[in-house]
Structure 1
Amino acid sequence: MVKFFQHTFKYEYNWDCVTLAFWLRYPNPFASHVESVDVIDRYVDPNTGILRTTRLILKRGVLPKWGRTLIRNPEACIIEESMIDPESKTMITLTKNINHARAMQVEEWQTYRVDPNNHEFTQVKTEAKIISNFGWGLKDRVELFGIKKFADNTMKSRKGMSHVLEMIREKRGRGFFTSV
């Protein structure tokens, strides 16, 4: 059975600042597993004004002891697609691994928008789907491992974003990023 994860979180920063932090979030002390981030494609759709970006992210994964015999190389290539609509102040991202997908496919959608209750804050809705195509009784075990790891990593990701947001706040106080 496919495992799902859903969570909504609020950053006490405005949308412009949070979307800037999204692009600056690596490196940070909570993402030491991220090896590299490369922009593959980026353009503004001339019809809609939406900024579309595709990035390739290389991460070093952690495998449970029982998984090390199945997967020798724990590095994962992640494709990240994002769409930013500056008019509606909405950013939508989709990330998914492009290797090890037979063992475990992780698809994550995030929506960043102005918090409807406080326009100075940003609401982030995260949804994820964890799917394993393993048979022999491993499917549930792999998916349960994946959902637990995803939930743990969501906490680290928030801490990393908060770290970057705080750095932006400090630099803004020194005259940098004056428009955010």
Structure 2
Amino acid sequence: MVKFFQHTFKYEYNWDSVTLAFWLRYPNPFTSHVESVDVIDRYVDPNTGVLRTTRLILKRGVLPKWGKGLMKTPEAYIIEESMVNPKTQTMITLTKNITHARVMQVEEWQTYRVDSNNHEFTQVKTEARIISNLGWGLTDRLEGFGIKKLADSTAKSRKGMSHVLEMIREKQLLRGRGFLTST
């Protein structure tokens, strides 16, 4: 069985700021569960101009009481692949867990693009699927838990991105008023 999650959100910031905030979002006050982020591979495709990045993210979570026998540790390694196309002003990300994947696999796609109604805003569409083939009557429970955690983490992620975006805005305002110089 598979459970699906979809969510669309609009940042009241331009695409350039939102994609910059994406790379600067760790650490922030809403991501204390993120232990580390490492770039594994990054290059610009010479044919398309698309920036492709693969990162390894280590997150620490909390296991539900009923899940403690299924997983040894609440730590999870996540692979994040992204493609940033500056020509079309689109960024697509795919994240999926590589730890605990036999118990539950979470695959999340996000598309960041200029909002069609207001070009100063950025729309983010999130789509995810949660898959568990564990059996023993736990599949629905695991997938339901995965959907709830994904909804919670999406809300925290938005708060974290908004925090970073506000920091970017403040720095730009200070620089524009001559308080900061470029370094």
TM-score range, shorter chain: over 0.9
Structure-2 residue corresponding to 1:76 = 76
> 1: distance between equivalents of 2:79 and 2:138?
26
Structure-1 residue corresponding to 2:172 = 172
> 1: distance between equivalents of 2:106 and 2:175?
40
Contact persistence 1:172–1:178 (CA under 8 A):
no
Gaps of 5+ in 1: none
Structure-2 residue corresponding to 1:127 = 127
Structure-2 residue corresponding to 1:4 = 4
> 2: distance between equivalents of 1:156 and 1:75?
18
Using the TM superposition, give the Cα deviation of residue 17 of structure 1 relative to its aligned residue in structure 2, in angstroms: 0.1
Query: Deviation per CA, 1:74-123, whole angstroms, max 9, x where unpaired?
Result: 10000000000000000000000011001110000000000000000000
> 1: distance between equivalents of 2:99 and 2:64?
18
Using the TM superposition, give the Cα deviation of residue 174 of structure 1 relative to its aligned residue in structure 2, in angstroms: 1.6
Query: Deviation per CA, 1:25-45, whole angstroms, max 9, x where unpaired?
Result: 000111100000000000000
Q: State the TM-score, normalized to the length of structure 1.
A: 0.97
Tell me the amino acid that sits aligned with residue 26 of structure 1. Y
The list of structure 1 runs, each at least 4 consecutive aligned residues, that deviate by more than 6 angstroms after superposition, is 176-179
Using the TM superposition, give the Cα deviation of residue 175 of structure 1 relative to its aligned residue in structure 2, in angstroms: 1.2
1:115 aligned to 2:120?
A: no
Using the TM superposition, give the Cα deviation of residue 178 of structure 1 relative to its aligned residue in structure 2, in angstroms: 9.6
What is the SS of the residue equivalent to 1:175?
helix
Query: Deviation per CA, 1:142-167, whole angstroms, max 9, x where unpaired?
Result: 00000011001110000000000001
The count of residues paired between Structure 1 and Structure 2 equals 179
Tell me the amino acid that sits aligned with residue 147 of structure 1. I
Tell me the amino acid that sits aligned with residue 156 of structure 1. K
What is the SS of the residue equivalent to 2:106?
strand
Tell me the amino acid that sits aligned with residue 69 of structure 1. G
RMSD: 1.5
Q: State the TM-score, normalized to the length of structure 2.
A: 0.95
Gaps of 5+ in 2: none
Tell me the amino acid that sits aligned with residue 156 of structure 2. K
> 2: distance between equivalents of 1:178 and 1:42?
29
